[in-house]
Amino acid sequence: MGEARRPCKQPRRRLRVVLAAATAAACRVLAAATAAACRVLAAATAAACRVLAGRDSRRVFQYMSAAVTDLPDALPAPAPRPHPRQPLLLGGRRGAPVADPALCRLPAPAASAGADVSRAVTASTMEAIEASGRGVIHSFVVMHHPPVPPFEYPNVIVLVELAEGRVSSRASPGRSRRRPDRHGGARRLRDGRRRPRAALLPSGGGAEGGGRATTGDVPGPDRDRRHRRDRVLEGLGAERAQARLRGRDERRSTTPGSRRPTSTASRPS
Amino acid sequence: MMDNNPEIEVARAIGAGPLRFFSRIHYGGGAACAVVMQAALAVGSGAADVVVCYRAMNERSQQRFGIGTTPTARVATTETAHFGWYAPFGLLTPASWVAMQGQRYLHDYGATTEDFGRVSVACRRHAATNPRRGSTASRSRSPTTRRRAGSSGRFASSTAARRATGRSRSSSTTLERARDAKQPPAVIRAAAQGASRDQQMMTSYYRDAIGDLPEMADVARELYAQSGLGPKDFQTAVIYDHFTPFVLAQLEAFGFCGRGEAQGLHPRRPRSRSVARLPINTHGGQLGEAYIHGMNGVAEGVRQVRGTAVNQVRGVEHVLVTAGTGVPTSAIILGKI
């Protein structure tokens, strides 16, 4: 019986082999096509992201409240900005693409409307304006993530309080490999100027104004750790930063014995 | 809540009769207590006699939260469009969105990541005695040490709730019916939802103080107004702990301590005594028991009121249960009958 079957079985087996081969070939072709398509897509996405990240302008889209725009003097003509491409934030250099076009809210035009109205996003009127390029870091994230092109890791992302409103941005394209809290020493920027060193300052306060709002400065290991950690929350222009750091050094030298100043503007780096 | 199991399929599976009222509430974990509130509203209005609130998650092989990137392009909606202002810079994941706010909290109030870490430690410690804890948590049988949880600079990754598989449910009905039930009931003393000004999904970055949770403060005011209770009236609380920075912000929003003082939450060196006396997340929370969008927190609140919790607090009269934050949120107060 078995021998009788064999002739019938052979063609079937051959057919199966042919079919399998055909399927495999089709799969290979499909996989190759898919891979190619994916590569093209990824490249396009990466290119788009590069374009986005590298665009050399600091435009800010502003939503304006209808109630505000209707008022004649609600939006006074912006004063001319002498240096629209001033260095911004952590290591921003002149002309560097730092902040990208991003959404922000119109800060209170206090003269004509209360803060309630001005902060509300009620109108669809939107326009692009050139940002002054100066800002204060409101918060930041050092992003650790399985690599996603085109980002470099660790990727420092900042939330910036621009004069025009709050935006998110990468801290400084091409410079994000360093952790911001390890910018210890003085570094020179490409154009020869000193890198503005970042220093912790009380939010919104002057050099001696604010200090901490809370009971945070209880002596102990917590405090020391806190001081080590808290250093980059405000980016400064080079001159201001140096002035502040000079001031800090003076204060430090006048208080021998007190290892770390508490509740003062600057923290040791 | 949002769920992959439609009401009709659950009804088919359990052989339930005709449904008279069904509803789903959006915003992930922010709906954990909102479903209880809306169940109470349905029962109160007569739309329903008994409402079952449920949430089931299978993050291992089903929908997974917290990845940030999706294999397929998503259609932009009004809800997702604002992520377009963060994703181009690589701010991709819920952990990173919350970290932006947590970082500001550290700056504003002089807290450290160790303060955040203590929340993890407390939750894992409670979970260690909880047989219900998720399988991921059970692998580390010993509670996470403070060193491991707190000293890491990458607090965003170390303090996020782990993915979990599990399900949880609770039922709401009238007090009269509940008296006849086999199990002693927990009474819903107050319930509220909250979405504050300039609220976004996870990225409410345009407020003055981004380290705080104004929507939870609104909910707290509402709850206290409804119930006539205050922060001192709770013996324990279930504070939604998807990300530890928001646990501190919630304790502050509910007035267990002043703004920025929740960092005093420490078992040995309590700076704020009212906080120290308040055991939170006795089941282990989202961090220790399982990440089931807070429905397991509601269940734990009920157990604490009944006196059947695995880490039972003595003399429980009222339990506060909160829902996910950073999103439109909700909270309830459960009490003894």
pLDDT tens for each residue of chain A, 269 residues long: 444 455 555 667 777 777 778 878 887 877 777 777 767 666 665 555 444 443 333 334 433 333 333 334 444 444 444 333 332 222 223 333 333 333 223 233 333 333 333 344 555 666 777 777 777 888 888 888 788 778 877 788 888 888 777 777 766 443 433 333 333 333 444 455 444 333 333 333 333 323 322 223 333 444 444 333 333 333 333 344 445 545 554 554 444 443 433 333 333 33
In a mutational test of the A interface, the residue from B85, B89, B154, B207 whose CB has the highest number of chain A CBs within 10 Å is B89
Distance in angstroms (rounded) separating the CA atoms of residues B58 and B164:
7
Q: Compute the Cα dihedral for B123, B129, B133, B135 and give only its sign.
A: positive
Contacts of A170 in chain B (CB under 8 A): 89-90
The closest CB to that of A214, out of B100, B114, B260, belongs to B260
Q: How far is CA A37 from CA A24, A44, B3, in A?
A: 20, 10, 34
Distance in angstroms (rounded) separating the CA atoms of residues A119 and A124:
14
Of B27, B105, B109, B291, the active-site residue reads B291
The CB-side HSE value for B98 (13 A sphere, CA atoms) comes to 28
Least confident range of A40-44, A210-214, B107-111, B172-176: A210-214
- Which residue from B minimizes the CA distance to A147? B90
Between helices B113-128 and A221-229, what is the axis angle to 10°? Answer: 120
Distance in angstroms (rounded) separating the CA atoms of residues B100 and A156:
11
Max mean pLDDT among A34-48, B106-120, B132-146, B302-316 falls in B302-316
Write down the pTM of the prediction: 0.64
Does the annotation count B105 as an active-site position? no
Residue B326 confidence (pLDDT): 94
Contacts of A215 in chain B (CB under 8 A): 110, 260-261, 264, 271
| Dihedrals phi, psi of A71, to nearest 5 degrees | -75, 135
Higher-pLDDT residue of B330 and B167 is B330
* Band of pLDDT at residue B79, cut at 50, 70 and 90: confident
H/E stretch holding B252: helix B244-253
Pairing state of beta strands B318-322 and B165-173? unpaired
Portion 260-289 of B in contact with A at CB < 8 A: 260-261, 263-264, 271
Q: Which domains does chain B have, with CATH numbers?
A: 94-165+185-335 (3.40.47.10)
Residue B112 confidence (pLDDT): 86
> Is B13 at the interface with chain A, CB within 8 A?
no
- Which residue from A minimizes the CA distance to B81? A103
Query: Average pLDDT, stretch B237-254?
Result: 93
Residue A177 confidence (pLDDT): 37
Query: Average pLDDT, stretch B151-169?
Result: 44
Identify whether the C-beta of residue B35 lies closer than 8 Å to the C-beta of residue B53: yes
Query: Average pLDDT, stretch B253-278?
Result: 69
Distance in angstroms (rounded) separating the CA atoms of residues B243 and B211:
13
Distance in angstroms (rounded) separating the CA atoms of residues A200 and A214:
16
Does residue B214 register a pLDDT over 60? yes
The closest CB to that of A217, out of B91, B110, B156, belongs to B110
| Number of neighbours of residue B52 by Cβ within 10 angstroms | 19
Residue B252 confidence (pLDDT): 93
The closest CB to that of B108, out of A145, A165, A203, belongs to A203
Distance in angstroms (rounded) separating the CA atoms of residues B69 and B93:
8
- Three-state SS for B75? coil
Does the annotation count B86 as an active-site position? no
Distance in angstroms (rounded) separating the CA atoms of residues A34 and A81:
51
- Both structure tokens of A242: 């140096």
Residue B59 confidence (pLDDT): 77
Residue A219 confidence (pLDDT): 39
Residue B18 confidence (pLDDT): 93
Any residues with CB less than 8 A from the CB of B312 and at least 6 apart, and which? B282, B303, B304
Residue A10 confidence (pLDDT): 65
| Dihedrals phi, psi of B124, to nearest 5 degrees | -65, -35
Any residues with CB less than 8 A from the CB of A229 and at least 6 apart, and which? A181, B106, B112, B113, B153
Distance in angstroms (rounded) separating the CA atoms of residues B281 and B300:
8
Q: What percent of chain B has pLDDT over 70?
A: 83
Query: Average pLDDT, stretch B187-215?
Result: 91
Strands (E), B152-287: 165-173, 187-194, 236-238
Distance in angstroms (rounded) separating the CA atoms of residues B303 and B185:
9
* Band of pLDDT at residue B89, cut at 50, 70 and 90: confident
Residue A160 confidence (pLDDT): 84
Query: Average pLDDT, stretch B120-145?
Result: 67
Q: What is the ipTM of this complex?
A: 0.84
Distance in angstroms (rounded) separating the CA atoms of residues B237 and B223:
14
Residue A86 confidence (pLDDT): 30
